[in-house]
Amino acid sequence: MTEGDTGSGAPDSETGADIDIHEIMRRIPHRPPFLMIDRAENYVPSESLVGVKCVTINEPFFVGHFPGAPVMPGVLIVEAMAQTGGLLMSKSWDADPTGKIILFMSVDNCRFRLPVRPGDVLRLDVKVLRSRANVVKFSGRALVDHKLAAEAEFAAMLVDAPR
């Protein structure tokens, strides 16, 4: 693979490119069971990305949230949006994951509109609101079947990885 190659034949900067699980795991440090995105679509460098999470009954949080009526915890929906934003930052800036880490800074105006359940496909539509130096402010919308499940604004910062 050459530098700038996603492994799918599409260059990193290609608008509209899809991002597979292998590239996600190269770009952000999260791992199962805490990796909340399975793939990403519609990449527009420094502007937007759509993360995709296929919610299954075997997610570990469903054991206790809630027995007999499983619902994805809202905080994990927000985490999935944040991971999508981190992936967008990492890919847009071509950040070295061995030397840098993207940290969640804040969440504002968070609203939950409908429960996310096993079998749902969660689409995480994340857009850059503003970017300055190593900090990015995002808006995120989590959708199930084109219906709004959650929304929030959040910020993240690129920092040196701990040694």
Which tens digit of pLDDT belongs to each residue from 19-77? Answer: 999 999 999 999 999 999 999 999 999 999 999 999 999 999 999 999 999 999 999 99
Q: Please, what are the domains in the chain? A: 17-160 (3.10.129.10)
Strand partners, 102: 158
Determine whether 65 is an active site residue: yes
| CA–centroid distance for 107 within its chain | 14
- How does DSSP classify residue 146? T
The token pair at 113 is: 């509109």
Mean pLDDT, residues 74-86:
98
pLDDT of residue 4: 39
Distance CA 143, CA 150 (A): 7
In the block, residue with structure tokens 């096993």:
118
CA dist 115 and 20 (Å) reads: 26
Distance from chain centroid for Cα 21: 12
Q: Which of 22, 30, 65, 146 is catalytic?
A: 65
Query: In the prediction, which pLDDT does 13 show?
Result: 58
Mean pLDDT over residues 117-131, rounded? Answer: 98
Name the residue type at position 108: D
